[in-house]
Amino acid sequence: MKRAPAVAGQFYQGSAARLKDQVAQYIVSAPLKEEAIGIMSPHAGLIYSGHVAGAVFSSIKIPKTFILLGPNHTGLGPAISIMDEGEWEIPTGSLQIDRKLAVKIAANYEKVTKDSKAHIFEHSLEVQLPFISYLSADAKIVPIALLSASYEECAGLADAVAAAIRGADYPVVILASSDMSHYLPDSVARKKDSLAIDRILDLDPHGLYETVLTERISMCGYLPATVMLYASKLLGAGSARLVKYATSGDISGDYDSVVGYAGIIVK
């Protein structure tokens, strides 16, 4: 099936020319591209978080396939939803689903459901596509939306993802889509977000999962980030780097109620 864009003209520019120009302003010069195992990138409107996402994508070698892990904001579909065939359209082009890799992930873990309903209106993965499309004309994707999951289920999905990647004979990067704290004063958001970011930089998926719940951090993509981190460790990750952190207040000037954005590379 062809998945039509749900938030073109809202979260990012709705025409091909304007979207290309919009993404270009967030791409930075990085002479040494890193070979990432996993990354975390925000998914707010590009006007607010595009500079953070752009810094991450600019810093890595673009793989043949991105496994996209995002939170399910809409509540549609099952707990863990994977689209295993078709393509996703955005104004600047279409991205094919890596069916071979998607089918393997679904086969590797019984709690992964082949489903498209969860993805129809969800923005968290779609907002990553303008950057991928800009930097690669033929990169493929595997879209996975997480509505709910225990830590054990995050680990099970991570095992399935890592096993599928081990069987691939081409480069694959695991992308966790997440914003950080929501609608808090800037100083509070930064303090809370640093607790979660520290766990990621320590390569501690269980610590991240528990910290978000215990400290009540409104990080919408903590499940995708937990899975990405766990799978990256299984694939040999030895370090993580915070590429950029910002809040919406840095753009809007309103520091009374902000959303936090973190861009991280795991390698």
CATH code of 198's domain? 3.40.830.10
> Contact 11/46 with Cβ under 8 angstroms?
yes
> Model pTM?
0.97
Q: Which residues contact 124 (CB under 8 A, 6 or more apart)?
A: 43, 70, 71, 72, 73, 145, 177, 178, 220, 221
Q: Are 32 and 241 in contact (CB under 8 A)?
A: no
Q: In the predicted model, what is the mean pLDDT of residues 190-219?
A: 98
Q: Which amino acid is at 183?
A: Y
182-201: pLDDT as tens digits: 999 999 999 999 999 999 99
Provide the number of structural domains found in the chain: 1
Report how far apart, in Å, the C-alpha atoms of 103 and of each of 85, 112, 113, 165 are. Answer: 9, 10, 11, 12
pLDDT number for residue 31: 80
Please determine, for residue 30, whether its predicted confidence score (pLDDT) is greater than 90.
Answer: no
Give the range of the structural domain holding residue 159, as residue numbers without chain letter. Answer: 2-266
State mean pLDDT over 227-249: 98
Q: Is the pLDDT of residue 247 over 90?
A: yes
